[in-house]
Amino acid sequence: MIDTEEKILAIVCAYMTNFEFENFSLIVDGNYVGQNSVRIMRCIFELAVKKNMAQLTELTLKWCRCLEHRVIPNQLPLTQFTRESQNGSVMAAKMKKSNAQDGFLSSYLVNKLE
């Protein structure tokens, strides 16, 4: 049996990588954790600012930005503009029908820049 903390960590990782769940209960849990993880990190950030904890403030701000933009911390921000990062969007479904790039960066180019 998976502990609650491990399940939440797995769901946050899936949220950041735009993973699509097939199970309805995981979809609901993913939406709940995705929405509230940003709020919780912002709250921790505000507490760290009020307590004058510089290192914790920097770390929580970094994670807040990563959760808001759904980017892994050591990932290049340009990966948001690749076709692979647009898995769940309606536009990506339309784009899969056509072979044109139409505004997306190639994942090869982004990996080369990293």
What SS3 string covers 52-94? CCHHHHHHHHHHHHHHHHCCCCCCCHHHHHEHHHHCCCHHHHH
pLDDT of residue 19: 83
The CATH code of the domain at 1-73 is: 1.10.3380.10
Is-above-0.85 flag for pTM?
Answer: no
Q: Is 96 exposed, middle or buried (0-12, 13-18, 19+ CB in 10 A)?
A: exposed
Check whether 87 has a pLDDT greater than 60: no
Instruction: Categorize the per-residue pLDDT at 42 as very low, low, confident or very high, splitting at 50, 70 and 90.
Output: very high
Q: Using an 8 Å Cβ cutoff, are 18 and 88 in contact? A: yes
Poorest-pLDDT segment among 5-9, 45-49, 82-86, 88-92:
88-92
Structural domain boundaries in the chain: 1-73, 76-114
